[in-house]
């Protein structure tokens, strides 16, 4: 386990300190005292303990690692949700029973996200060249 305070006999990064960091993250890094209490520190000294422990460079490093892990998990979840959202919009666009206005809005949404924006006059030539490819890909997808 990494040592806190360096190689000169400092305290270890204990499970309780790790719990403090994890509780702190659960509280969105807003309440050090409550995080310390949740991690098992005495309520009487929790504020001072948390402040001292969270200033330690190795604890800070662990905190940053945990924040990065949370960020990666959120990104993965959002990627899955985004894929579901695209599938939903595509289903609306290709649903013959849907209202024309809804299908049209879905089509514009897909085109917008693909980079085909009606207001982009400078890229109109590129967009016009790419549109047949996009429509062909959508038609090929319909056949599946």
* Chunked mean pLDDT (size 10), the chain, 144 residues: 43 91 96 97 97 96 96 90 87 92 88 75 60 70 56
Q: CB 118: neighbour CB atoms within 10 A?
A: 10
CA–CA gap between residue 81 and residue 6 (Å, rounded): 43
Q: Dig out the tokens for 99 from the structure.
A: 């209202």
Q: Give just the sign of the alpha carbon dihedral 36, 41, 42, 47.
A: negative
CA angle 10, 70, 76 (to 5 degrees): 150
Q: Give the model's pLDDT for residue 82.
A: 84
pLDDT of residue 81: 85
Supply 39's token pair.
């991690």
Tally of CA atoms within 13 A in the half-sphere of 2 that contains its CB = 13
Paired tokens of 85: 């959202």
Q: Provide the CA 138 distance to its chain's centre, in angstroms.
A: 29
Identify the pLDDT of residue 25: 96
**What single string gives the DSSP state of each residue in 2-70?**
PBTT-TTT--B--HHHHHHHHHHHHTTT--HHHHHHHTT--TTTHHHHHHHHHHSHHHHHHHHHHHHHH
pLDDT tens readout for residues 42-81: 999 999 999 999 999 999 999 999 999 999 999 998 888 8
């Amino acid at each position: 386990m990494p040592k806190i305070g360096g190689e000169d006999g400092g305290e270890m990064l204990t499970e309780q300190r790790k719990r403090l960091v994890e509780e702190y993250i659960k509280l969105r890094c807003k309440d050090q005292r409550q995080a310390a209490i949740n991690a098992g520190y005495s309520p009487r000294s929790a504020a001072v303990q948390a402040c001292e422990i969270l200033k330690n460079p190795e604890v800070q490093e662990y905190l940053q690692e945990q924040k990065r892990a949370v960020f990666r998990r959120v990104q993965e979840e959002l990627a899955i949700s985004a894929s579901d959202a695209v599938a939903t919009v595509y289903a609306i666009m290709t649903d013959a029973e849907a209202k024309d206005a809804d299908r049209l809005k879905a089509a514009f949404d897909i085109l917008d996200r693909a980079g085909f924006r009606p207001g982009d006059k400078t890229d109109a030539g590129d967009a016009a060249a790419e549109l047949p490819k996009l429509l062909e890909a959508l038609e090929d997808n319909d056949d599946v």
